[in-house]
Structure 1
Amino acid sequence: MEYLEVLLPSATLAVLFYFVMRTILNADRSEREAMSRARELRVEEDRSHDEPTETSGPESGPDIDGTNSAK
């Protein structure tokens, strides 16, 4: 029984350390996945904004004097 009393605190700390590290690593993995998804969405959004639209022509923009004559 003396050995158990001596090893129990160290074993308890080892188990606690394992669960804390597992939680930290899982949180890090989840954050990296979320950042990757956000980066992909941002790239897709940038691509969609860079594509020309059908309304982008001289009739849809303002005239030289700054007014819009298409109205």
Structure 2
Amino acid sequence: MIQNFWANAAYSLIPTILLGLIFWLVMRSIFRADRTERKVYAEIEAEERARFDAENAAAPRSATREP
């Protein structure tokens, strides 16, 4: 009788624990992917801003239109 109780308790808890573990792994991978994507985007944006500033600094002032 008591052995059956512990088996039922284990069978009741194992699916919940496994589902929670799967959910945690999925959420962790989503957050890591988002963090990596934001980091890469920031690096690309910094490179583009530096390139834009270098192009504007190298352009002669007479070539730009003045109002």
TM-score range, shorter chain: 0.7 to 0.9
Paired-residue identity, %: 24
Name segments (4+ residues, structure 1) moved above 6 Å: none
Larger RCO, structure (CA 8 Å, separation 6 or more): 1
CA positional deviation for 1:48: 0.7
Name which of 31, 35, 60 aligns with 1:29: 35
* Aligned counterpart, 1:2: 8
Q: Which has the higher helix share?
A: 2
Structure 1: segments with no counterpart, 5+ residues: 59-71
* Aligned counterpart, 2:26: 20
TM-score by structure 1 length?
Answer: 0.72
**How many residues are matched?**
57
Structure 2: segments with no counterpart, 5+ residues: 1-6, 63-67
